Structure 1
Amino acid sequence: MNKQQLLEQLHGGLVVSCQALEHEPLYRPEGGVMPLMAKAALQGGAVGIRANTVRDIRQIKQAVELPVIGIIKKDYPGTSMYITVTMDEVDALVDCGADIIAVQGTSALRPDGSSAADFIRAIREKYPNQLIMADIARLEEAMDCAAAGADFVGTTMRGYTPETKGIDETDIDFIAVLARECPAKVIAEGHIHTPEQAVRCLDAGAWTVVVGGAITRPAEITARFTAALQGRN
């Protein structure tokens, strides 16, 4: 699938984030669970998958013929960056066949002191044909990452940085501003819990929508229901 075909595949569709961290019930050291989630997503009409770790990406790509947005989550001392932070991780994602590599595009610096824009430029130089997504929280970050060569900007980090703390709902107005002002394609991700919210994201100008917890995290889904029921008292 070339770049134009991939863009057309994603346009107006749903990407399902299939991830399970070590503390979550669906995590297994040997993997095997997320490919089943990806199969279910494909059956339901998803146009792509977002996945974490080389193991899961390899297994998912063997299970479904859908483009994969690949990330590697890892904590590093001295920085709040944790989504695809170093070139070693990018190399690993390229090697396992991630169609799009997502990196954290927020304003914090990486362990080597480089900015998100610096990192994206380095990736673009090393892998000129690789599609890159920047997970951002603010317009300034999106503009910097797009100028550095990011093909997509995702609203993934909005509400999860010091500057955007407290935003815990889908920010439709922010998506609209991004779609209007940022030259990169906008991927709406984060705080999307209902189909209606997903539709509103596309109506605001998002190229595609990524939904994870509302589909692939049973504990989170259950907690949302139980909180609503308990709220009746």
Structure 2
Amino acid sequence: MTATPLAATLAGRLIVSCQAPPGDAMRHTDTLVRMTRAAQDGGAAAVRVNEPEVVAATVAAIGLPVIGLWKDGDTGVYITPTVRHALALVEAGAAVVAADATARPRPDGSTFADLVAAVHGAGALVMADVSNVTEGCEAARQGADFLSTTLSGYVSGTPRQTAPDLRLVTELAAAITTPVVAEGRIATPAQAAEALAAGASSVVVGTAITAPTALTRLYVTELGG
């Protein structure tokens, strides 16, 4: 299966991440699916959702490509950490499986290349979530169909910042031909446009669109609450 048709569909367009953290009032399958429907109505090209149950419900509800991931835990490699997690997402209907592609060890002892081979064998594509250029180039070499800057700023050794890591976007786009997806801390439409100008093929926005709890806290904090 080739990424080219989907990459062309997503080129220059917005992907909306419709997720909610554990304990959040929005973390309910029906609520998350309604988010994806709203994203579709607003013109999104695809959605990114967490866990097989939500993937399956989203696939049944909307006509957009679904990028699925499965967060298991909150430390180390926890974004689709094993081949088992990845294949469950494909079975649920994900067109693309997003997975941690950093150099950190995976909990089942597998490699990112093992995950790519399994997902491709099951008929889906892979989005590699990386934190730096070296990881991105290695993920592309191992067969990733898309690269995402998701983990920049969240892995030791990467720059901590409040803004998107547009430098990483530019460096990845210059180093490889695999489509680069800008993700992480994109808070405004202007920043999304800047990411495309920096070399991203597509842009993922999550919190700024789909996280009312986090957004409310920003206002409350600014007002001294």
Same topology, TM > 0.5? yes
Counterpart position of 1:16 = 16
**How many angstroms does 1:228 deviate by?**
3.2
Q: Tell me which residue corresponds to 1:110.
A: 106
1:99 aligns with 2:92: no
Give the secondary structure class of the aligned counterpart of 1:163: coil
Match in the other structure for 1:54: 52
Cα offsets for 1:2-42 (capped at 9, x unmatched): 844322221111110011232111113xx211111011111
**Aligned residues between the structures:** 225
Within a 5 Å distance, the mapping from 1:16-165 to structure 2 comes to 16-28=16-28, 31-75=29-73, 80-124=76-120, 126-127=121-122, 129-164=123-158
1:190–1:211: 8 Å Cα contact kept in structure 2?
A: yes
Task: Say if 1:121 and 1:59 are closer, same or farther in 2 by CA, change over 3 A.
Answer: closer
User: In the alignment, does 2:193 pair up with 1:195?
Assistant: no
Paired AA for residue 54 in structure 2: D
Q: Distance in 1 between matches of 2:5 and 2:177?
A: 19
CA contact (8 A) 2:97 2:119 kept: no
TM-score (norm 1): 0.89
CA distance in 2, matches of 1:226, 1:147: 45
CA contact (8 A) 2:18 2:48 kept: yes
Going from structure 1 to structure 2, the CA distance change for 1:118 and 1:167 (only over 3 Å counts) comes to: farther
Aligned with 2:30: secondary structure? Answer: coil
Structure 1 residue 224 displacement after superposition: 2.1
Computed over aligned residues only, the root mean square deviation of the Cα atoms, in angstroms, reads 2.1
Q: Indicate the SS of the match to 1:16.
A: strand
Q: Does 1:220 align with 2:214?
A: yes
Structure 1: 5+ residue stretches without partners? none
Stretch moving more, 108-117 or 181-190: 108-117
Segments of structure 2 that go 5 or more residues without pairing to the other structure are none
